[in-house]
A and B are shown apart, each in its own frame.
Chain A
């Protein structure tokens, strides 16, 4: 079992024939992801990586029955691509592109919600169900199949966390990189119940960072609804206030969104909070051997 995607999930790629889209689609195919085609306007009818190219998402969905889209289009075109996917009946759009304007994402997400399409990202590594389906840019080889679900705002911390979990002898069910932009798709609060319901997931790792209050919302949700053990790390305890730390949303503004307030809230909700990301693996071992 897993959440959201598995070995049968049919995936199309928007921005299929561009250099990023090509490179990563190739890696995903090698991992075993069922990529059934892609969309690049004016290249409809061609074949790319052995898969059909379509002019529109509607055509791609009609021809392939795809339910998930992996979005690699340049930042200025992300909102358009996401709304096109929603309009065409795609169920989940995984948006990898970095640097989409915030105003565009507000509009695109509002429309996706209206059309019942889930989104992940933007500016994220994507989603992976270990040894079944990789939709994104993460190194597939570090995700061994196992019993730990992972949700993270950061790409490399996702790899760091998953690697430690696997080194301790456990593995991953599904890992979701939700991205660190101010406006993102699925977040902790929507993903936690999916892991709670997944029979194979026995523990959950959540990795957050400074800025916004998604982790605080998650803490309140965990307290009421999650029975599985949760390990958390919040990056940016040593980040200065008012400075943007790489991610567009990673900023402590007006004294709100600090690592400390998030760590306190999670701890109060019964979450095992680690101070250093180097301790994620050990903490997972500890909660799973209880």
Chain B
């Protein structure tokens, strides 16, 4: 689960990670009131969406008067912001964060992510703040400092020294400030079961203070049960409606831009099915894992979600029955076709336990749209043909 910048900064503030002061606004009038409350004569109006690259996309603007705050807030609220992370369809901006202006002397990058190879969190820092870190990692990997921190010992002084010397910070007061910043940020990461934290940029002000100018946080979904206050920050308008609906029924769904709907049990086989369709000259319309307990209800829900996509020209149901018997799944598919109007050809491959009985059930039902397949290759080939209208 991801949260907005303003929410990440609320969490930072709780741990004493320094950020500029700011207040969230839903309307341009609120934006002006917030700017007044913050005081000063320069403010930043920031679009709140779950994607990076907001500045480049025109979602972050500087205001030098309260009138300008109002104009910019009116402009940004309700705009569809397109960045390199939103995809071409962009995201609707519903909230703006009004923040006091900051005196930027230097821009750094600081983040915490899990290093899967080391099996522990790693703090990443770079002097190349304000740029996409993926580009820095690709073009100048030597400019990224990585410090792995074993959770068993926590953030120690030597971790901090590695960071500041790696960044070339020589002023002792600045070293102490940045070490304290990183130490608090690591605590934020651990105590909240974060999956990643990214501060880009982390700025150094004219007076040598470090501030989180941006803040991005993602959390381990499996650990949300012990963080109700973070779960409460969920903004469902930022999530794909179909993916969320699927999730509520225990289905794992990701929409793609192809023509063949896929319904598969198991994440690996679901990906393998997409790959096989692609290999045979077709295009998958989605990833859909119905899980290990596929029944008539989940299959019907799967059909319903797949068929919401107008590009779908055929559906490939690929189930390898293990503990779940294929004959039960075959009956589930028949029931599901009664519950949902399935108007495209459905290619069904059921293999594993009781596959022969399942084939018999499908044959006897003799539903016009349902085509039986013998194995994965046969099913994928038939689905590709059906999508091209060749059946």
A217 to B119, CA, bound (A): 14
Q: Do A182 and B116 touch across chains, with their CB atoms under 8 A apart?
A: yes
A173 sits at the interface (CB 8 A)? no
A24 to B323, CA, bound (A): 9
The residue of chain B having its C-beta at the shortest distance from the C-beta of A281 within the complex is: B375
Q: How far is the CB of A130 from chain B (nearest CB, A)?
A: 15
State whether A209 and B268 are in contact (beta carbons under 8 Å apart), knowing that A103-B193, A255-B138 are contacts in the complex. Answer: yes
- Contact for A156 among B150, B190, B266, B284, CB less than 8 A: B266
Residues 153-166 of chain A, each 1 if its beta carbon lies under 8 Å from chain B, else 0: 11111111001000
State whether A236 and B151 are in contact (beta carbons under 8 Å apart), knowing that A163-B351, A254-B134, A278-B375 are contacts in the complex. Answer: no
A249 sits at the interface (CB 8 A)? yes
A212 sits at the interface (CB 8 A)? yes
Residues 79-120 of chain B, each 1 if its beta carbon lies under 8 Å from chain A, else 0: 000000100000000000000000000000000001011011
Q: Which residues of A contact B278 (CB under 8 A)?
A: 237-238
A250 sits at the interface (CB 8 A)? yes
Q: How many A-B residue pairs have CB under 8 A?
A: 177
Q: Which residues of A contact B32 (CB under 8 A)?
A: none
Q: Which residues of A contact B377 (CB under 8 A)?
A: 276, 278-279
| Residue count of chain B within 8 Å CB distance of chain A | 56
- Among the stretches B3-11, B40-48, B218-226, the one at the interface with A is B218-226
- Contact for A236 among B137, B190, B275, B351, CB less than 8 A: B275
Q: Do A245 and B271 touch across chains, with their CB atoms under 8 A apart?
A: yes
A244 to B353, CA, bound (A): 29
B20 sits at the interface (CB 8 A)? no
B232 sits at the interface (CB 8 A)? no
Q: Which residues of B contact A278 (CB under 8 A)?
A: 276, 375-377, 380
Q: How far is the CB of B53 from chain A (nearest CB, A)?
A: 13
A103 to B193, CA, bound (A): 7
A137 to B351, CA, bound (A): 17
A246 to B322, CA, bound (A): 18
Q: Do A102 and B269 touch across chains, with their CB atoms under 8 A apart?
A: no
Q: Which residues of B contact A24 (CB under 8 A)?
A: 323
Q: Which of B225, B284, B320, B351 has the most CB of A within 10 A?
A: B320
Q: In A216-257, which residues have CB < 8 Å from any B CB?
A: 217, 233, 235-240, 242-250, 254-255
Q: Do B138 and A157 touch across chains, with their CB atoms under 8 A apart?
A: no
State whether A110 and B320 are in contact (beta carbons under 8 Å apart), knowing that A103-B223, A275-B279 are contacts in the complex. Answer: no
B287 sits at the interface (CB 8 A)? yes
Q: Do A154 and B269 touch across chains, with their CB atoms under 8 A apart?
A: yes
Q: Do A75 and B222 touch across chains, with their CB atoms under 8 A apart?
A: yes
- Contact for B269 among A109, A156, A259, CB less than 8 A: A156
Q: Do B322 and A160 touch across chains, with their CB atoms under 8 A apart?
A: no
- Contact for B268 among A101, A102, A207, CB less than 8 A: A207
B272 sits at the interface (CB 8 A)? yes
Q: Do B119 and A106 touch across chains, with their CB atoms under 8 A apart?
A: yes
Q: How far is the CB of B163 from chain A (nearest CB, A)?
A: 20
State whether A141 and B320 are in contact (beta carbons under 8 Å apart), knowing that A209-B271, A278-B377 are contacts in the complex. Answer: no
Q: Do B287 and A254 touch across chains, with their CB atoms under 8 A apart?
A: no
Q: How far is the CB of B280 from chain A (nearest CB, A)?
A: 8
A248 to B190, CA, bound (A): 18
Q: How far is the CB of A152 from chain B (nearest CB, A)?
A: 7
The residue of chain B having its C-beta at the shortest distance from the C-beta of A114 within the complex is: B152
A117 to B353, CA, bound (A): 34
Q: In A107-155, which residues have CB < 8 Å from any B CB?
A: 107, 109-110, 137-139, 141-142, 152-155
State whether A139 and B353 are in contact (beta carbons under 8 Å apart), knowing that A102-B220, A212-B117, A240-B256 are contacts in the complex. Answer: yes
Q: How far is the CB of B381 from chain A (nearest CB, A)?
A: 9
Residues 269-304 of chain B, each 1 if its beta carbon lies under 8 Å from chain A, else 0: 111101111111000100101001000000000000
A10 to B360, CA, bound (A): 41
State whether A245 and B254 are in contact (beta carbons under 8 Å apart), knowing that A76-B225, A139-B352, A209-B268 are contacts in the complex. Answer: yes
Q: Do A182 and B223 touch across chains, with their CB atoms under 8 A apart?
A: no
- Contact for A245 among B137, B287, B351, B353, CB less than 8 A: B287
Residues 188-224 of chain B, each 1 if its beta carbon lies under 8 Å from chain A, else 0: 0010010100000000000000000000000011110
Q: Which residues of A contact B264 (CB under 8 A)?
A: 156
The residue of chain A having its C-beta at the shortest distance from the C-beta of B324 within the complex is: A139
Q: How far is the CB of A232 from chain B (nearest CB, A)?
A: 12
Q: Do A235 and B322 touch across chains, with their CB atoms under 8 A apart?
A: no
Q: Do A254 and B137 touch across chains, with their CB atoms under 8 A apart?
A: yes
Q: Do A159 and B220 touch across chains, with their CB atoms under 8 A apart?
A: no
State whether A109 and B119 are in contact (beta carbons under 8 Å apart), knowing that A139-B323, A278-B375 are contacts in the complex. Answer: yes
Q: Which residues of A contact B277 (CB under 8 A)?
A: 238
Q: How far is the CB of A124 from chain B (nearest CB, A)?
A: 11
- Contact for A141 among B116, B265, B270, B353, CB less than 8 A: B353
- Contact for B276 among A142, A183, A250, A277, CB less than 8 A: A277
Q: Do A102 and B114 touch across chains, with their CB atoms under 8 A apart?
A: yes
Q: Which residues of B contact A75 (CB under 8 A)?
A: 222
Q: Which residues of B contact A94 (CB under 8 A)?
A: none
B252 sits at the interface (CB 8 A)? yes
State whether A276 and B268 are in contact (beta carbons under 8 Å apart), knowing that A103-B190, A238-B278, A254-B137 are contacts in the complex. Answer: no
Q: Do A236 and B271 touch across chains, with their CB atoms under 8 A apart?
A: yes
Q: Do B220 and A250 touch across chains, with their CB atoms under 8 A apart?
A: no
Q: How far is the CB of B369 from chain A (nearest CB, A)?
A: 24
The residue of chain B having its C-beta at the shortest distance from the C-beta of A153 within the complex is: B268
Q: Do A107 and B151 touch across chains, with their CB atoms under 8 A apart?
A: yes
A residues lining the B interface (CB < 8 Å): 24, 27, 75-76, 99-104, 106-107, 109-110, 137-139, 141-142, 152-160, 163, 180, 182-183, 207, 209-210, 212-213, 217, 233, 235-240, 242-250, 254-255, 259, 275-279
A-B contact pairs, 25 of them (CB 8 A): A101-B226, A102-B114, A103-B193, A107-B152, A138-B322, A139-B352, A154-B269, A157-B268, A157-B269, A159-B352, A160-B272, A160-B320, A160-B376, A163-B351, A209-B267, A239-B254, A245-B267, A246-B252, A246-B267, A246-B268, A246-B270, A249-B116, A259-B275, A276-B275, A278-B380
7 tightest Cβ-Cβ pairs between the two chains A and B: A154-B268, A246-B267, A156-B266, A101-B223, A278-B377, A156-B269, A235-B271
